[in-house]
Structure 1
Amino acid sequence: MARKDMLLRCTSSDSGNSYYRWNVFSYVVAGTFATIAGIWSPEYPFLALTADPYFAVLGFLAGLNICIGTGALIVLYMMFGIETTRGEISTLAAFIGFGFGAGVICMTLPMVLELPIQWIN
């Protein structure tokens, strides 16, 4: 497989991202409407990354997905070499995306690790 085809295949795969986007979007929209209508009133702050367990898990999975995708892109560019300005910009954007995903993981990891303990007690 040619280098360009492999890089395009890696960057155009969007099935995992769309799954997490749909889950987060539906949770935010349905939860907002249910909270405003008074149908649902959770005992935790709604959409707080450090307190809302569902939003924390969805955020953690999205951050993990971002890190895996951008990490694969960085590894591919490093394996095949960065030859053009477009490659340099893509690598820079991948590092920025990796940092964003890692930041989301760092924010949500304590809540995600506490969830099994809360469910047992």
Structure 2
Amino acid sequence: MKNIATIFFLLFGIIAMNAQSFESLWNTGKENTTVKIIKTGDLFEGFLDSSDNKKAPIGKLLIKDIKQSDGFYEGKIYVVKKKKWYKAKFELKSNILIITIYSGLMKKTVEWKKQN
């Protein structure tokens, strides 16, 4: 029984650490723009936090319906230039968030760096 409890707490700790590293402030690498990802209920959401672009809609929801799935996260990302939501996959690699955006048969990958 102690072994089962130990395994449960170990797995819970790993999941909690993963969620905390995803839940952060991320620099998109364009115009000093940052997106803040937070957990709301069982899902994650990301909001535009700041940008040097004066036309950037600060506070706008850019990432939604994000849930963890087999070592990565899946959900939707809003592409401001296209004014459209796209399916996306999010992978954490140390302090880098690799985002693959899918549009039909096409896909694009971008990297965001964790803000300190």
**Greater RCO between the two (CA within 8 Å, min separation 6)?**
1
Q: TM-score when scaled to structure 1?
A: 0.25
Q: Which has the larger radius of gyration?
A: 1
Q: TM-score when scaled to structure 2?
A: 0.25
The structure where helix makes up a greater share of residues is 1
